[in-house]
Structure formats: C-alpha cells, structure tokens
Amino acid sequence: MSEQIYFEDVSEGMELPVEVRNPTPRQLVQYAGASGDFYEIHYDRNFAQSTGLKDIIIHGALKNAMLGAYVTGWAGPAGELRRLTVQYRGMDYPDEPITAKGHVSRVYQEGQSNLVDCTVWLENPEGQQTTPGTATVHLPSRSD
C-alpha cells in the first residue's frame, strides 16, 4: 500500500512518480479471461501479425486500468478516484516496458471536496505517449 498524500502537499505542476510496468503475454490472457475480450490480437501472435501488427497488443481497457491503478496508488489509501478518461493513440506490446507518468494540472476545492486534476499517460520504450488521459482525485486534508 502506498503512503498517503494530502491535499496540502500538492501543487500545480507537481510531477507524479514514474512507474514502470512490464506486462507479459500471460497477463493479457488472464485479462482476456477476466474481461471477456478474446479478440485474437491480444493473445495469438500469428493472428496479430496476419493483421499487420508486429506482435500481440495490450488491451486498451487494460491500459486504462493501469492508469487508474497508477493514479489511485499515488493518491494513497484515503484518496478517491473521481474521474478517469483516456485515449488510445498507439499500440503497446507485452514484454516491453510501459511507463506511467503524470503531473498535477489543477488543485481546487469544490464544496467539501479537495480535488486534484492530473494529466497522466503511458509511454512506450521510445517515449511516445500511447495512452494520454486525465484524472480527478479527491485527497484528504491533514486536518480531517
């Protein structure tokens, strides 16, 4: 479990910690079973290559989940993910590292909520943003 970050400790422009993941073909098969997404481009190399892909590709929804886990890990156990949006702009492949990065774009209060908007993304090994997104989290206050 991650350490708790508090609303008072966050400022606009603050970088989120970099997180590298190394998905495997096995994880894609497990995700296919859990999600019901059995499109062959996610687990059958011959089929994926026959469609013009260089290899099997990571499910878009799995990349969405990776960014959700990245943001909630940063927000800590008392943080709450309020919104997450992502776009799929490039392919990512198993057995290649995927790097999650982000920064704080806005810090504000709305009613009783301490909200933080973040710009987040996944990068491939070439540094290209394949899955850009935004997230809003509610963080606890040190005075709570």
Output the DSSP codes for 39-78.
Answer: -GGGT-HHHHHHTT-SS----HHHHHHHHHHHHHHHH-TT
Average pLDDT, the chain: 96
Residue 51 has pLDDT above 50, yes or no: yes
Percent of the chain with pLDDT over 70: 99
Q: Is residue 117 part of a domain?
A: yes
In sequence order, what are the residues at sequence separation of 6 or more whose Cβ sits closer than 8 angstroms to the Cβ of residue 34?
none
Q: Is residue 49 part of a domain?
A: yes
Q: What is the mean pLDDT of residues 84-110?
A: 97
Number of structural domains the chain divides into? 1
User: Residue 71's pLDDT is what?
Assistant: 98
Q: Is residue 5 part of a domain?
A: no
CATH number of the domain encompassing residue 80: 3.10.129.10
Residue 56 has pLDDT above 90, yes or no: yes
Q: What is the mean pLDDT of residues 6-28?
A: 97
Task: Please name the amino acid found at residue 30.
Answer: Q
